[in-house]
Structures are given as structure tokens and as C-alpha cells.
Amino acid sequence: MSAEIVNPTDGLDDDVIDPAFALHRGGKMAVRATVPVRDADDLSLAYTPGVAKVCSAIAEQPELVHDYTWTSQVVAVVTDGSAVLGLGDIGPAASLPVMEGKAILFKQFGGVDAVPLALDCREVDELVETVARLAPSFGGINLEDISAPRCFEIEQRLKERLDIPVFHDDQHGTAIVTLAALRNAARLRGRQLGALRAVISGAGAAGVAIARILVEAGIGDVAVCDRKGVVSEDRGDLTPVKRELAGFTNKAGRTGSLESAMTGADVFIGVSGGTVADEAVAGMAPDPFVFAMANPNPEVHPDVAARTASVVATGRSDYPNQINNVLAFPGVFAGALQVRATEITEGMKLAAAEALAAVVADELDADRVIPSPFDERVAPAVTSAVAAAARAEGVARR
């Protein structure tokens, strides 16, 4: 006998329903027409026979699809539900509330239309093929909540196959915002990025991308740690992704545990969960920066970090300096779509981070090294910087 399915709001009065369920009932999105269909004339233009002229023109000149459909203004938010927020592998259906939320954030903070696509496939080949076949309907692909290490291969193969931006937000959105906050923390304390040594706890999607962008930005040194300690070239148990990671990080050749790597470090960045011992934080360099970004429980509690650190950031909205991807991805895609970019390059990501940091560069204090997601200056600044970088790097089509 199958278990009875219980709706958590059945039998409850509206005033006692959990507000999260109340808000999500019926979904958080809808499709809205941008042209009127008031009479037969409108209908004949919006649909047959008028639409046939536009279809024929696109068939003859495929690039016209960007001018005469919504393609150049819409992003697919794609997941397989394998690594959803702090919930883990909950599957495609259960991931949809998150994907809907992502889509409304695209619209709210970047003016970009987005469509959530939760795909019931797990094999890398199948997922890549499915997204590639869907791609003609979209101007960009935002990969979301796909588990590592599969996410790296999926993104790389789609980037090689498609001529539209492909962006795994768990990697690159997190990296952009982290770099922006670190730039401002260094500015606030009169320090140079190139003089800092960072330690990252977590060698998954976010950890790898943060390490890469910090190296691109000129960090003095960065070591990345997984469950077995520092990802170093002398280890024989590394995946291909971690082997590549070891090749461009850890210039000092450190080995051993996370705690040993943190000794004397200027920066701690946590994207792994778990708990870092108070003693490890206390053993860092004087006035370090602690970015403990695991949700809902940071690797280092902010109150503990504040005893030692001169700047503390988390992934939570109830503490200062929230490292929130919504500061990056709406503007990144808005800028890329604005110029019909064929890809999102490392230079575009660096430009996004610098523009984001600059929003509050004249307003810095220890509790404000990164803007609020509700700062209306953020999306225009990031959009403009990304569009300009795309043109400079030759990946813009207009």
C-alpha cells in the first residue's frame, strides 16, 4: 500500500498557513504577453497569417531570431536537482521552487526573463545533449545546483558546443562576489591583493571557481583544501579537476590539514560546510579576513570570527557582508545579452567583480565591503562592465 500524500496546508485557515507555503502556492511565476491581442487585426499579426512572414525571414536569415523573438532576452535556468542549496540531491521536481526563485531574481534584479528547466536526467552525455537541443530557444544558459565534479564537465562541453553564454552560477557567481568583497576588504585595511595568502575550505564547484578567479586577479597565493587536506600535486588521489587545481594554486607547496594551511594565512574562505576550530582562526595572520559562507551554518560562527578577523563575511542575510550570488548573475547575464555575447569570459567575470566592488568603494567599513542585493546601483554597474568587457574581448555580436 502506498503512503498517503499529505498537503501541508490542507485543513488550515489562511492565517495559520506557513507563509513559505502560502507564497509558493500555485508557483511564483507566470507568462505575460508583451503585445495586445484585442481584436482580429491583432490576432492576425501576432499569429497567423502575420507570423508566417517573420518565420520565413528567420528561415532565410537565422540571426534575425534575436530581433524578432524573445531569444536574446531570455535565459534557461537548468538543473538536475542533484545539489540543491543546502538540501543536496533532492531531484528535479523538488528543485523547482528554487529554480522559480532564481528566475524571479533574474527579472527583479537584472530585468532578464528566465525559464526554470528541471531535467530528469543524470548522465553527463544525456544532460549535455538535452540542454544543447533546447538552446535555440534561449540567449543564455544558467546551470544551477548540479553536483561536482559533473558540473565542470557539463559546463565545459556546453561552452564548446554552443555559441551563447553558459554560466554555472554556483561556481562563477560565488567567485565574482567573493573577489569583489575581498578587493574591498583589502582596500579598507590598506592591503594589496598580491600580498595576501588565502586558504579555501572546499574543492567543489565554488571552491575551484573562487581559486581560479583569485589567481586571475593576482592573489599572492591560495591553497585549496578538501576533506583530506591541501590539494597539492604530490597527492595521488586527485580527480582530473583537482589535479588541474593543484597545478595553478598552492605556489608555496603546502601539504597537510586545513588547520595547518590556515596558520599565518591572511584570508579564510569557507565553501564546504563543517566547522573550523577556533584555534585555527586564532592562528591566522594578524587582522585576517574570514569569509565563512556555508549556509545555514557558517564554518566559523561570525561572533567567533570577529574576535580575530578585521573583516567577516558570510552567506547569510542576518549578518553583515552577505556573499550573495544575486549580486552577480543578473547583471552578468544582462550585460552578456545586451551585446549578444557568444560566451562569458574570465575577463567579463573580473570586470563584474571590479564593478561590484566599486559600488561601495567610497563607503567602506568592516560591515560594508559588499553592497546589499537591494542596492539599485548594482545591476546597472555590473551590466555595463560586463558588456564593455565582452566588446573588448571580441565576443560581442553587437
Domain boundary assignment for the chain: 14-30+70-164, 170-398
Exactly one of 53, 68, 102, 242 is catalytic; name it. Answer: 102
Sign of CA dihedral 284, 287, 288, 294: positive
H or E, element range at 143: strand 140-143
Task: Determine the pLDDT at residue 360.
Answer: 98
Q: Over 70: is that where the pLDDT of 178 sits?
A: yes
Same fold, 14-30+70-164 and 170-398: yes
For 180-197, write each residue's pLDDT tens digit.
999 999 999 999 999 999
Q: Over 70: is that where the pLDDT of 298 sits?
A: yes
Q: Over 60: is that where the pLDDT of 2 sits?
A: no
Residues 367 and 320 sit within 8 Å (Cβ to Cβ)? yes
CA distances for 116 relative to 26, 124, 141, angstroms:
15, 19, 10
Task: Give the closest residue to 256 by CA, choosing from 207, 199, 209.
Answer: 199
Task: Give the closest residue to 70 by CA, choosing from 143, 141, 138.
Answer: 138
Return the exposure string of 221-251: e unless at least 16 CB atoms fall within 10 Å of the residue's CB, then b: bbbbbbeebbbbeeeeebeebbeebbeebbe
Task: Give the closest residue to 230 by CA, choosing from 215, 250, 204.
Answer: 250
Task: Determine the pLDDT at residue 86.
Answer: 77
Task: Give the closest residue to 316 by CA, choosing from 331, 308, 305, 307.
Answer: 305
- Whether 68 is catalytic is no
Q: Over 80: is that where the pLDDT of 384 sits?
A: yes
Contacts of residue 132, Cβ cutoff 8 Å, sequence gap at least 6:
158, 161, 162
Percentage with pLDDT > 90 across the chain: 90
Task: Taking residues 101-125, report their average pLDDT.
Answer: 96
For 316-356, write each residue's pLDDT tens digit.
999 999 999 999 999 999 999 999 999 999 999 999 999 99
Considering only the top CATH level, what class is 170-398? alpha beta
Cell 564554518: give the residue: 299
Residues 271 and 261 sit within 8 Å (Cβ to Cβ)? no
For 205-232, write each residue's pLDDT tens digit.
999 999 999 999 999 999 999 999 999 9
Q: Over 70: is that where the pLDDT of 15 sits?
A: no
Annotated binding-site positions? 144-145, 170, 295, 324
Is 131 buried (19+), middle (13-18) or exposed (0-12) by CB count in 10 A?
buried
In DSSP terms, which residues pair with 290 in a beta bridge?
268, 312
- Whether 102 is catalytic is yes
Residues 201 and 275 sit within 8 Å (Cβ to Cβ)? no
Task: Give the closest residue to 244 by CA, choosing from 212, 289, 272.
Answer: 212
* Cα-based torsion angle of the residue sequence 211, 213, 216, 221 in order, rounded to the nearest 10 degrees: -30
Polymer length of the chain: 398
Annotated binding-site positions for (S)-malate? 295, 324
- Residue 21, number of CB atoms within 10 A of its CB: 12
Task: Determine the pLDDT at residue 1.
Answer: 43
Q: Over 60: is that where the pLDDT of 366 sits?
A: yes
Residue 257: pLDDT band (50, 70, 90) is very high
The CATH superfamily label for domain 14-30+70-164 reads Malic enzyme, N-terminal domain (3.40.50.10380)
Count of alpha carbons within 13 angstroms of residue 3, beta-carbon side = 3
Task: Determine the pLDDT at residue 274.
Answer: 87
* Alpha carbons 151 and 20: distance in angstroms, whole number: 29
Task: Determine the pLDDT at residue 11.
Answer: 65
* Alpha carbons 143 and 166: distance in angstroms, whole number: 7
Question: In the structure grid, which three cell numbers stand for residue 183, read together?
Answer: 578587493
Task: Give the neighbor-by-neighbor strand order of the sheet with 140-143.
Answer: 113-118, 74-79, 140-143, 166-168
Q: What is the mean pLDDT of the chain?
A: 94
Is 398 buried (19+), middle (13-18) or exposed (0-12) by CB count in 10 A?
exposed
For 85-97, write each residue's pLDDT tens digit.
878 999 999 999 9
Contacts of residue 45, Cβ cutoff 8 Å, sequence gap at least 6:
51
Return the exposure string of 64-91: e unless at least 16 CB atoms fall within 10 Å of the residue's CB, then b: ebbeebebbbbbbbbbbbbbbeeeeeee
Residues 212 and 203 sit within 8 Å (Cβ to Cβ)? no
C-alpha triplet 373, 378, 384: angle, nearest 5°: 150
Task: Determine the pLDDT at residue 96.
Answer: 96
| 209: amino acid identity, one letter | A
Annotated binding-site positions for a divalent metal cation? 144-145, 170
Q: Over 60: is that where the pLDDT of 30 sits?
A: yes
Q: Over 70: is that where the pLDDT of 16 sits?
A: no
Task: Determine the pLDDT at residue 20.
Answer: 87
* Alpha carbons 207 and 48: distance in angstroms, whole number: 51
Residue 4: pLDDT band (50, 70, 90) is low
Percentage with pLDDT > 70 across the chain: 96
Residues 132 and 93 sit within 8 Å (Cβ to Cβ)? no
Q: Over 60: is that where the pLDDT of 116 sits?
A: yes
